[in-house]
Structure 1
Amino acid sequence: MPSFDIVSEVEKQEVKNAVEQTNKEVSTRFDFKGSDARVEQAEYVLTVFADDDFKITQVLDVLNNKLIKRGIDIKCIELGKIEKISGNKVKQSITVKTGVETELAKKIVRIIKDSKLKVQASIQGETVRVTGAKRDLLQDAIQLVKKSIGDFPLQFGNFRE
């Protein structure tokens, strides 16, 4: 029976490359001369350090551009609040969301069930597996989910006959 998985994955190496490129650009830019602006990475949590709120937005802008160039959808980035640290320095934490959250997975399953397509959707951890009798039905399900869920980056993989 044909099936496919709906997942949301981000390559950690691409995020690391984007962070390194951001740090390199920030260290060479004239407007950051003498500034302690940088981005640090711990797994899928990024921390942006800067001298003030304006510089944090500038570093975030550079980071977003680098992430886009590396093929990472910035919809999977969740910004934390800006916190003050020693003196006039500030930091902001950024979480790179991976995996389909339970709430979103339930929404996807509900959309597929309400569509009356002859496919079954089940939640398996951080993925949603969709199975059906024919390949065409699965392709219709993919199109339906793409149209319905636009605010979160989803990939459709592990297609099996």
Structure 2
Amino acid sequence: MAKESSFDVVSVVDMQEVDNACQQASREIAQRYDLKGTGAALALSKKEGTIRIDAPSEFVAGQVRDVLGSKLTRRGIDLAAVRWSDPVAAGGTTVRQTGAVVQGIDQDTAKRIAKDVRDLKLKAKATVEGDKLRVSSASRDTLQSVIASLKERDYGQPLQFVNYR
């Protein structure tokens, strides 16, 4: 019997890169002519995996989010890895918006990915293991076609394919 090959589907974000991007964005906000002196601030909580924007208006909060987005993209982090909440009034005329950095695949998304792998009608088996998904098959070509199919679909978060063996 042939040895089974497998790979893992994960959703992992390097928090150090997120921290670097937040620091760069904070420096740019402090120096940019249209944002200087507006009171806009950007804060990252690495422990909780959240980014908080404090701004005087929703427009300025959007500008800060755009600056942060450009820095995240430059550092190789997919923008779908951050889920933004709606802006909330935070006293006076200020607005607060928080973004959660997505780490791991939740159970619903993992079940949806496993169902999509089964619907491909290939000889591949997908099993959910905590916050990741393992796909195994006897044929490496089958695994390559599963990876290609999963890359085409949108699951609302970035997916990486690791431990290919």
Matching residue of 1:68: 73
C-alpha displacement of 1:128: 0.5
- Secondary structure, counterpart of 1:25 in structure 2: helix
* % identity of equivalent residues: 38
Question: Per the alignment, do residues 148 and 82 of structure 1 end up closer, same or farther by CA in structure 2, a change over 3 Å counting?
Answer: closer
Matched positions, count: 160
Structure-to-structure mapping, 1:48-67, within 5 angstroms: 48-67=53-72
When structure 1 is superposed on structure 2, of 140-149 and 50-59 the one drifting more is 140-149
Give the Cα separation in 2 of the matches to 1:33 and 1:117.
56
Residue from 5, 9, 26 that aligns with 2:8: 5
Which of the numbers 38, 43, 63 marks the counterpart of 2:41?
38
- Per-residue CA deviations over 1:83-136 (Å, capped at 9, x if unaligned) read 112321111011111211211111111111121111110000110000111211
Cα shift at 1:150: 5.8
Correspondence for 1:152:
157
Letter of the structure 1 residue corresponding to residue 69 of structure 2: N
Is residue 114 from structure 1 mapped to residue 119 from structure 2 by the alignment?
Answer: yes
Match for residue 86 of structure 2 among 75, 81, 85: 81
Q: Distance in 2 between matches of 1:140 and 1:31?
A: 48
CA offset at residue 42 of structure 1?
0.8
1:14-25 paired onto structure 2 within 5 Å: 14-25=17-28
**Aligned counterparts of 1:80 and 1:9: Cα–Cα separation in 2:** 20
CA deviations 1:20-65 (Å, max 9, x no partner) are 0000000011122322211101122000011111111110110111
For 1:78 and 1:149, how far apart are their aligned partners in 2?
15
**Dislocated runs of 4+, deviation >4 Å:** none
Q: Normalised by the size of structure 2, how large is the TM-score?
A: 0.92
Q: d(CA) in 1 for partners of 2:116 and 2:127?
A: 12
Q: Kindly report the root-mean-square deviation, in angstroms, between the aligned alpha carbons of the 2 structures.
A: 1.2
Residues 135-150 of structure 1 mapped to structure 2, 5 A cutoff: 135-149=140-154
Q: Once structures 1 and 2 are overlaid, which stretch shifts more, 79-88 or 126-135?
A: 79-88
SS at structure 2 position matched to 1:81: coil
Q: Which moves more between the two structures, 57-66 or 148-157?
A: 148-157
Name structure 1 gaps, 5 residues minimum.
none
The residue type paired with residue 97 of structure 1 is V
TM-score (norm 1): 0.94
Higher relative strand content: 1
Structure 2 unaligned segments of length 5 or more: list them: none
2:102–2:157: 8 Å Cα contact kept in structure 1? no
